[in-house]
Amino acid sequence: MVSPPLRDPPQLPPGPFPFPLLGNFAQIDLANPHRTMVKWAFRYGPLFTVHLPKPIIVIADFQLLKETLISQGDVFAGRPDSFLYGIFTNHRKEGDGIILAEGERWQAQRRFALRAFRNLGMGTKKMDETIMYHVNELLVRIQKEIYYSESTIIDLHYPLAFCIGNIIQEMVMGRTYCYNDPEFLYFKHLIDNTLKGVASVQMLLVDEYPWMRHILPGYKSYVNDGFALQKFFLDEIERHEKDLDMNADSDNFIDAYLKDMKNGEKELSKLTLALNAGDLWTGGMETTVTTLRWMIAYLIHYPGIQRELFEEIRSVIGPRRVTTADRIKMPKIRAAIDEIQRIVNVLPWHIPHTVRETVVVRGYTIPVGTTIMPQPGAVAHNPLLFSQPEHFRIGRFLDEEGSYKQREEFTPFGLGKRQCLGEGLARAELFLILVSLLQHFEFGPKEGEAELPSLKKSPGMASVPNEFECYVRRRSAKEEEPPKLDERFEAMLKSMMEEKLRESMKRQHQKTKSNLESSESSEDSGKGGFRLAEMDTDSEGPNDPFADFDVNEATLLKRDSLDLALDASEILINESRKRRKSD
């Protein structure tokens, strides 16, 4: 049986003693690995070796991260040869895709992605408009669910996922999904399973000992889900290729890539494009959705902070629509976003690097090809930098005067050559969505304090919260100067409700008339009844023909109101999509 060496080579930094086969897995808090890394950093120093189960050098100090990832960025920008990832790249030596490629292939993908994002409006007003279009759909979705009752219990996971997913989808593929689209739900299921599986103990064992794929049950699911995702993107690429217009401006990543590929760029291929699209989807959607879900959960636990954030929103922008230009004027919102990213550490297992040449770091000789794991999460939970790091405190990112205070040592999007390409988009999404949600809605526990969302994390590539429902109240029910969600939506829904009421009144009118005629026919018709036009509709007595209206027709109206809201919203959304497409 193969197992890690019982001792590291003398040139590697010290670290915890590994167990045969499993390495240090049994010693790590898999749901909160940063806690274990902080403990080991204090014990062994900021540079130490762990076995997962292969030997990996962990960097758990901010100054050391700068020395390696920035000052020697080219040396530390490699990616390890991985059996798990190689399954989907035909085990190409230099890797593939934006995230895992090496050398010239990686540089070509990165250059293209940066240029494509810039052409698609990254960091411009156009990006704001794209995000806010989908944010408005999110707000309408929530508003529709609580339209009649002013408040309700909602699970925000999928509304947020469709919002973020459609932003990424529009940029990558040039199309979007309707809410609860089965294809999207299946697609997200595959992404969730893949991210959960890739960082599991089983898959990390397979990565080190490929023969174990024959005995560990998680491998088959991982491979099937991964290839299903790849097929989804390859099929989408085929559809784009059939309709590609080489003379038209590209409004999505896939079209732009196909044009460069047809123009002879040697490092571009359909498989690489499929992997790039998958990298953008998984990196761009799941982390942002997860961060927003955590934000809602923490604000339910800390209603005082939620109120402070709303007061800042009301003070700075009032009822108007938020833009990214407002960010500089909203220090508490910025601080809250930073603090949630810090405390949650949404990617606890930072994607490993390798050194491209032998290098000496703090007296240790690190051979070429050695795997390196930066640990910005351990830095963000170092009590010497952030006192009581497990406590949620937005004041960490505010100075004494209440202005926003940037913390250099807080790097949620990484450092150096491998820093997240979508940082600008993610920051804009987090800001615009959080402000929009708090501007229109208040969030609370489902059933009093006993039903607060759990703050426990699940093991995996991403630190995801447990599923939870929350109480949502639209602020326009009580707050002064309430923001209007969508005037056209409100007007259309009011008109449709009035028409529904008229139909209900007409049905009740006919029902009453029929009852009266039936009653008259059973009596002496010569004694003359009364005409319907002479009825006293204000009467509350037993002869009031509308006495049972609230029981029957009002109940029917209440049941139909959500359907009407859905109809009104879909009409407006479809009109907007047609206008955007024609533009």
DSSP 285: I
Contacts 24+ apart (CB under 8 A), 517-522: none
CB distance 404 to 326 below 8 Å: no
CB distance 273 to 281 below 8 Å: no
Token pair 């189960």 in the structure block, residue: 53
How many of the other CB atoms lie within 10 Å of CB of 333?
24
**Would you state the structure tokens that stand for residue 248, as one six-digit string?**
């038209």
Q: Annotation-wise, does 163 bind a ligand?
A: no
How many of the other CB atoms lie within 10 Å of CB of 249?
8
Taking the mean position of all CA atoms in its chain, how far away is CA 531? Answer: 63
The DSSP code sequence of 76-119 is T-B----HHHHTTTTT-TT--HHHH--HHHHHHHHHHHHHHHHH
For residue 583, give Cα distances in angstroms to 403, 576, 578, 580. 40, 11, 9, 5
CA-closest candidate to residue 474, choices 121, 141, 90, 190: 141
DSSP SS3 for 180 = coil
CA-closest candidate to residue 361, choices 55, 63, 43: 63
CB distance 124 to 113 below 8 Å: no
Q: Would you list which residues are annotated within the binding site? A: 420
Q: Would you list which residues are annotated within the binding site for heme? A: 420
